[in-house]
Chains A and B, each alone.
Chain A
Amino acid sequence: MSRRLDPAVQLLGPCLLVVAAGLLAGSVSRSVEIDVLSAIVSVAIVVSIYVFIGNSGVLSFGQISFVAVGAFAAGVMTIPLESKQGVLPDLFPLLRDHSIGNLPSLGVAAAVGGTYALLVGMPLMRLSGLAAGIATFAVLEVTHNVLREWTKIGPGATTLSLVPETTGPLQATLGALFVIVVAFAYQRSRLGRMLRATREDGAAAEGVGINIHRQRLWAFVLSGALAGLSGGLFVHLLGSITADQVYLEITFITLAMLVVGGTGSLLGAVVGALAVSGLDSFLGRAEEGAGVGPLTLDLPQGSRLIILGVLMAAMLILRPAGITGGREFSLRRPSRGDTKGVGQ
């Protein structure tokens, strides 16, 4: 096969995985369908996180903030007008008196996520390493605190409910595919390559005239917009959401997905999200005592997070480059090279 086809093959691999999951979702029982759909939405979330962490090599605990604002924006804006004034009476008039459809709400979610990322990123992208980790964690804390307490922009500490459940197999699959294609286009673009150069060697990249701060900010904003969009998909899948659902636990799980799959490649993000989601649903069922297929496991409540945590820690200690080892999908024999993990 010609080398010119390599990029197409690289993009095809992750896309086929998502399409296969989407087809699976359409052909299984309702309870399994929810699990498959949330796995596909996880792909969208993890790929959007990967756009920043994977390409820049800078750690961020804050990307779930953009999922959160996207989910809340899309959720608040799509609650039908006739019930909105009843359930969310304290909203700003602009939010309270208008509602929009499903597709515009996804656009709004992406715009809100991207704008928020731009505001946060402008100062924060000067930091890297440990300082970046702690500062982005602070962003997550601020976002959670504001979403939980400010009833003028959302439900506050209560549940945001009555959101139309429009994320079916088609919307989930198309949404995830969109995020994957944008992420792939970005990482092969001039901007993406410049950022990946700063990941490999900051000093050398600056030496050839790359502005590290600007390149990281581009990726952060793109990642924020895609995360916002994923948040929109997420809230339309669940039909309701609380501020606590987009806080520490999902940050942990999505980071585990990225680390397990491999932070260095798009394929890693997709494989990690699907594999860990599958394991997570299986363990979740086992915790409830339900058998899955021929296996019947009865795990105590909480063991799901132990197993995911051990998997994540073991991966970081034994194989920091993840399952895919930082490689993209290819039909050739894998070659050595691009195998960087986060922050290395």
Chain B
Amino acid sequence: MTPVVAALDVQTLVDAIGQGAVYALMAVGIGLVFGVLRLVNFAYGQLIMAGAYALAFASAGGWPVWAGIALCYVVVVALSLVMELLVFRPLRTQSPAVMLVTTFAIAFILQAAALVIDVRDGTIGQAATSIASLNRAVTIGGADVRKITIVAIVVTLVTLGVLALVLGRTSIGLHMRAAAADFATARMLGVRANVVIGSAVLISGVLAATVAWILTVQQPFVQPDFALKETIVVLVGVVVGGIDRLWTATLGGFTIGFASGIINGALPTDKTVFLPSVLFAFVIVVLLLRPQGLFVRGRSSVVDRV
């Protein structure tokens, strides 16, 4: 057995599934907003970062765990709704490219704001440790699995299940699917734009808050660039999977999280330094050859080509 294969044990596999699950949640958050607004939110990672800072604030103040998590949800959802009101709404009629550049600016604003708030105590970074006990391992079938991995997988499955019910069985879900398919026609048939977009942004905010507390267990030290790398990788996964449909976007997010989990677990660090290049070169190839996404059948309407 070569060392590469030997390193690929059950533990790596479970960890990779856990990472894929978290990335899938982020992919859903990005994909939902894209569906109704045609907007790729570069600032999604900064929403997660804000949630992580809320948790750090709560654990510094000695708040009970439930209060810290509640604060995290309140902060992230409020921030999402403010973003929709101040930024997305006036830009709704603009082209996707203009919206993309604007969310790029918003991402920088939020990251710099975190830095400003953060350095008042003289150091960069805060610790969010209130739910760090989930980082302990339990032994299942001979493999050491951290509790948070199980929590992440279960939370993701439950969330995706609930979301499928909301989208499939409720009238707001129907409206959201209609808006994602054809916004103009949906509005003509009585779908209210603000309600649909508001709900999508709200759900995506809830997902960001969920990702925030899961990630703080693995990375308890919260800095202004918290979740930035993860968001960029998820954006890649979403585009590669197919951003035009929610399920392909989610699958893309999961796949890229799972794959990078396996690769990082199996290869030594000095072998993975060029991994980002391979990843992003892959994105370019997919955009050129299958612009609708790897997991999408048929042609997509979203990527206009020359």
A residues at B contact (CB < 8 Å): 58-59, 61, 123-135, 138-139, 141-142, 145-146, 149, 202, 212-213, 216, 252, 255-256, 259, 300-306, 308-310, 312-313, 316-318, 320, 341-344
Report the separation of the CA atoms of residues A259 and B99 in the bound assembly, to the nearest whole angstrom.
Answer: 13
Task: Count how many chain B residues have C-beta atoms less than 8 Å from C-beta atoms of the other chain.
Answer: 47
Whether A303 contacts B112 by the Cβ 8 Å rule is yes
Q: What are 6 pairs between A and B in contact, CB < 8 Å?
A: A138-B281, A309-B105, A309-B106, A316-B105, A342-B98, A344-B98
Whether B276 contacts A142 by the Cβ 8 Å rule is yes
B residues at A contact (CB < 8 Å): 38, 40, 87, 90-91, 94-98, 100-102, 104-106, 108-109, 111-116, 119-120, 224, 232, 235-236, 239, 273-274, 276-277, 280-281, 283-284, 287-288, 291, 302-306
Whether A303 contacts B116 by the Cβ 8 Å rule is yes
Whether A135 contacts B112 by the Cβ 8 Å rule is no
Whether A309 contacts B108 by the Cβ 8 Å rule is yes
- What is the number of contacts between chain A and chain B, taking CB atoms within 8 Å? 154
In the complex, the 9 A-B pairs of residues with the closest C-beta atoms, listed nearest first:
A343-B97, A302-B115, A309-B109, A305-B112, A138-B280, A59-B97, A343-B95, A302-B116, A312-B105
Interface of B: prevailing SS: helix
**Cβ of B263 to closest chain A Cβ, rounded Å:** 15
Q: Give every chain A residue within 8 A of B116 (Cβ-Cβ).
A: 300-303, 306
Report the separation of the CA atoms of residues A138 and B113 in the bound assembly, to the nearest whole angstrom.
Answer: 26
Report the separation of the CA atoms of residues A213 and B276 in the bound assembly, to the nearest whole angstrom.
Answer: 28
Given the known A-B contacts A300-B119, A313-B106, are A134 and B273 also in contact in the complex, defined by CB atoms under 8 Å?
no
Whether A252 contacts B104 by the Cβ 8 Å rule is yes
Report the separation of the CA atoms of residues A129 and B94 in the bound assembly, to the nearest whole angstrom.
Answer: 12
Whether B284 contacts A139 by the Cβ 8 Å rule is yes
Q: Give every chain B residue within 8 A of A216 (Cβ-Cβ).
A: 306
Report the separation of the CA atoms of residues A310 and B102 in the bound assembly, to the nearest whole angstrom.
Answer: 10
Q: Which residue of B lies closest to A252 (CB)?
A: B108
- Residue of A135, A212, A252, A303 near B284 (CB, 8 A) is A135
Report the separation of the CA atoms of residues A306 and B101 in the bound assembly, to the nearest whole angstrom.
Answer: 15
Q: Which residue of B lies closest to A213 (CB)?
A: B306
Q: Give every chain A residue within 8 A of B224 (Cβ-Cβ).
A: 302
- Residue of A58, A256, A342 near B105 (CB, 8 A) is A256
Report the separation of the CA atoms of residues A212 and B306 in the bound assembly, to the nearest whole angstrom.
Answer: 7
Contacts A131-B303, A139-B280, A149-B273 supplied; 6 other A-B pairs, CB < 8 Å: A130-B38, A138-B281, A301-B115, A302-B113, A312-B105, A316-B94
Whether A149 contacts B274 by the Cβ 8 Å rule is yes
Whether A124 contacts B284 by the Cβ 8 Å rule is yes
Report the separation of the CA atoms of residues A123 and B284 in the bound assembly, to the nearest whole angstrom.
Answer: 9
Q: Give every chain B residue within 8 A of A125 (Cβ-Cβ).
A: 306
Given the known A-B contacts A130-B96, A130-B303, are A313 and B87 also in contact in the complex, defined by CB atoms under 8 Å?
yes
Report the separation of the CA atoms of residues A255 and B91 in the bound assembly, to the nearest whole angstrom.
Answer: 18
Q: Give every chain B residue within 8 A of A344 (Cβ-Cβ).
A: 94-95, 98
Whether B108 contacts A305 by the Cβ 8 Å rule is yes
Q: Give every chain A residue within 8 A of B87 (Cβ-Cβ).
A: 313, 317
- Residue of A135, A213, A317 near B287 (CB, 8 A) is A135
Whether A320 contacts B306 by the Cβ 8 Å rule is no
**Cβ of A277 to closest chain B Cβ, rounded Å:** 17
Q: Give every chain B residue within 8 A of A308 (Cβ-Cβ).
A: 108
Report the separation of the CA atoms of residues A320 and B100 in the bound assembly, to the nearest whole angstrom.
Answer: 13
Q: Give every chain B residue within 8 A of A341 (Cβ-Cβ).
A: 98
Residue of A128, A135, A308 ringed by the most chain B CB atoms within 10 A: A135
**Cβ of A37 to closest chain B Cβ, rounded Å:** 24
Given the known A-B contacts A138-B281, A252-B104, A300-B120, are A306 and B109 also in contact in the complex, defined by CB atoms under 8 Å?
yes
Whether B277 contacts A142 by the Cβ 8 Å rule is yes
- Residue of B90, B105, B236, B291 near A131 (CB, 8 A) is B291
Q: Which residue of B lies closest to A304 (CB)?
A: B112
Q: Give every chain A residue within 8 A of B102 (Cβ-Cβ).
A: 312-313, 316-317
**Cβ of A19 to closest chain B Cβ, rounded Å:** 31
**Cβ of B128 to closest chain A Cβ, rounded Å:** 20
Whether A129 contacts B112 by the Cβ 8 Å rule is no
Whether A313 contacts B115 by the Cβ 8 Å rule is no
Q: Which residue of B lies closest to A149 (CB)?
A: B273
- Residue of B98, B105, B235, B304 near A128 (CB, 8 A) is B304
Whether A129 contacts B276 by the Cβ 8 Å rule is no
Report the separation of the CA atoms of residues A259 and B108 in the bound assembly, to the nearest whole angstrom.
Answer: 15
Q: Give every chain B residue within 8 A of A132 (Cβ-Cβ).
A: 97
